[in-house]
Chain A
Amino acid sequence: MRFIPALVPIEKDYRVSWKVTEEHNGHAVWTTHRRGDGVIHGTTVGVHMESCVGCMKCITACPTDVFIAWVDSTGRNVVDPVRESECILCLVCEMVCPTDAISITKAGGSEDTLKSLLE
């Protein structure tokens, strides 16, 4: 029987806690040693493939055409962030994704930049 991972939101700190195990279409593919975690495509723009339901809302919303429709190795219709380098961090894809399958990397800025603004 095929193991079907639960539809869970993408793990936001995957860039720290997961590992890059392969490359796909010019972007990294992240995984863990745990069988049920699934895979995440992309670093600036991460798409958790097991949570993606292929609604394509992110394709419509993205102003810089980061995503393309893609059929993964199991035959599921999902999206792939093939042009993640074009991402302008506007977060609209995160907002429209109905299953929280997308995570955009944090923009620059820090306590230091806040301090610079005030001092």
Chain B
Amino acid sequence: MGPAAVVLEGVTKRYGGFTAVDDLSFQAAAGRILGFLGPNGAGKTSSIRMMLGLIAPTSGRISVLGEPDASKVRARIGFLPEERGLYRRMTPVSAIAFLASLKGMAPAEARRRARSLLEEQGLGAAMDRQIRSLSKGMAQKVQLLSALAHEPDLVILDEPFSGLDPVNQQSLEAIIRKLADRGATVIFSTHVMQHAERLCDHVVLLAGGRKVFDGSVAEARGAAPRTLVLEGPFDPAAVSDLPGLEGLASEAADGGGVRVTAALRAGAPAQDVLKAAFAKGLDIQRFELKEPHLHDAFIVLTQGAPA
């Protein structure tokens, strides 16, 4: 892991008697993509606002691009909020150029950059139309570009995939990868695990304001059990004796017989189950080992966390 672009140490945020973020610590490595995951109300937006310097933590320490106060490095940060909107009567070019100029770009350069980004993203034909006449997807793309036009070193995207159709989601994934390729640090929050699984080098999972996981996607997957599927004309009760299995569920299989789905205990080899099944003379017609997805890990890790 390279030097950290963002560091949070023991950060807590309270609103009156309510603790939104509780003793949160993690680091986002420079030039990498970090997924900031958690169910709704987990404290993601509050954490992002603290990283951006929009709200002060109740306690703890935050460092962004080497500065304890993000406002000192505003020009190097790009931000897309969860709830989106732009000046409805402005054109995409003007809106992007205006927000980029607030980040320190010269107005003429900002306009040039806005035009080039819009052309690149297939919005060339719409660049001089008022934003209110654009589709929702197009407007969201314009807003994303307005967060990126000044080529920030740190990009923070709050739920960037929400409201986008599959094509635009794919296009956004490509943009995020491109940012990381350029060397920018990307932190994005989401509760849709597929995006994080495809994009992230590192994920931090929050639940009830607390960190419940901090590591790589592969490590996160390790928190969830692997699943074994066995199918055949056998008695489901006979499967319960097999070693390493727990949480068995059986149902009728499509082609006759039964399908048993079970979690494989951590460290238990799948081949031992297969060997034991053959030893018992079970007629196994399908034996499938399913590796867990991030989604499974998310469910496991957030279960039992305070709401």
The answer to whether A binds B is no
Interface residues of B (CB under 8 A from A): none
- A residues near B (Cβ < 8 Å) are none
